Amino acid sequence: MEQFRRFRRLRSSEAMRSLVRENRLSVSDLIYPVFVVAGEDQVNPIPSMPGICQYSIDRLHEEMDRVKEAKIPAVLLFGIPDHKDEVGSGAYDCHGITQEAIRYIKKNYPQILVIADVCLCEYTSHGHCGLVDHETGEVKNDETLPLLAKMAVSCAKAGADIVAPSDMMDGRVSALREALDENGCVNTPILAYSAKFASAYYGPFREAAESAPKFGDRRSYQMDPANGREAMREIEDDILEGADMIIVKPAMAYLDIMKEARERFDVPFIAYNVSGEYSMIKAAQQMGWVDGKRLTLETLTGMKRAGADRIITYHALEVARWLKEE
């Protein structure tokens, strides 16, 4: 009889499958995004992201208690101010919404790492990630860098464990590293959104962060989804400029980027399972078209298989619960 390998021998039961499983998802892999809004007594559900809300600082304990109970090790913090202006001054105000939220979390939940997203889009009246030349509509690169650096320093001084520039201005990692070092924050790591694509998957996030551009789009500074080799150059430059860790964003349609980057660069890589990816699963689950739990776990496991060391995901709380139940 012709001989062939019997792969099914190692698939015969859950115990057998678990024994030979190559990649495992754990709570320690998860980073949970949290939206903090100015004001008091605010818990604002995000319609396009079922289960996700904005919280004012006086109600933030409700979400952070769940994070602590789930043993999720880190949160990624986004602040929504009560005032926006042309220069995004709330982003680098030492008493801004993000900075005060950092202080609150580090005082009350010191065991949880706080990652501060560094960008101007939530704070500018025009919704772009940098300063704008209104005559040309251009988002100005070099003029934006000092403001991003000021935001990073203010967040680090407020207690942020990690700063994460998401703006996609050229040279921003170098600007942040220099400013952090000059201000005594030598030990604050930079988690760079290096491969961040101009994606349609971000739609629900812009509702949650109230950060949609008032004109134009972000394709002049975020990456073209068609380009993979360029992503490797972006990652390489950010590492050379001082990035300690790298984000690939979005995740699902960009696992080839994660796979290649993991093979080429020896730094921690984080996949950002973004809002649109989350909302698609939630919508399909609500319609009864998919098994939401299985699809979520399969999706996140795929990110691990592609090389992600950690995953930023809005599914974190429910995934932590599911993993505990296993």
Catalytic residue among 249, 282, 293, 304: 249
Distances (CA, A) of 69 to 51, 125, 129: 17, 37, 34
Q: What is the pLDDT of residues 277-292, one digit of tens each?
A: 999 999 999 999 999 9
Q: How much is the pLDDT for 137?
A: 81
> pLDDT (tens digit, 9 = 90+) per residue, 145-182?
999 999 999 999 999 999 999 999 999 999 999 999 99
Whether 249 is a known active-site residue: answer yes
- For residue 8, being part of any structural domain is answered with no
Is residue 126 domain-resident?
yes
Q: How confident is the model at residue 207 (pLDDT cuts 50, 70, 90)?
A: confident
Q: What CATH number did the domain enclosing 197 receive?
A: 3.20.20.70
* Residue 219 structural domain: 23-325
Output the pTM of the full model: 0.94
* pLDDT confidence of residue 1: 54
Res 16: pLDDT: 93
Please check whether residue 164 lies inside any domain of the structure. yes
Residue 4 lies in a domain: no
Q: Is residue 151 part of a domain?
A: yes
Give pLDDT, residue 188.
98
105-133 confidence digits (pLDDT tens):
999 999 999 999 999 998 998 888 889 88
**CB-based burial, 169-199: b 16+ in 10 Å, e otherwise:** beebbbbbbebbeebebeebbbbbbbbbbeb
Give the count of domains, the chain. Answer: 1
> Please, which residues bridge with residue 270 across strands?
247, 310
17 is a domain residue: no
Whether the per-residue pLDDT at 209 is higher than 80: the answer is no
pLDDT at 306 over 60: yes
pLDDT at 4: 84
Query: How far is 248 from 257, CA to CA, in rounded Å?
Result: 7
Q: What is the mean pLDDT of the chain?
A: 94
The Cα 151–Cα 165 span in angstroms is: 10
Judge residue 322's burial from the number of C-beta atoms within 10 Å of its C-beta, 0-12 exposed, 13-18 middle, 19 or more buried.
Answer: middle
Q: Would residue 91 count as lying in a domain?
A: yes
For the segment 61-70, the average pLDDT, to the nearest whole number, is 98
Q: Active site includes 107?
A: no
In a domain, 6, yes or no: no
Percent of the chain with pLDDT over 90: 85
Q: Which of 84, 106, 150, 196 is catalytic?
A: 196
Residue 217, pLDDT > 90, answer: no
In whole angstroms, give the CA distance from residue 172 to residue 164: 11
CB 213 within 8 A of CB 221: no
User: What percentage of the chain has pLDDT greater than the value 70?
Assistant: 98
Q: CB of 92 within 8 A of CB of 118?
A: no
pLDDT tops 70 at residue 2: no
Of 74-88, 154-168, 211-225, minimum mean pLDDT range: 211-225
The average pLDDT across 295-323 equals 97
Place of tokens 């860790």: 245
Which tokens sit at 47? 């319609």
Which amino acid, residue 251?
A
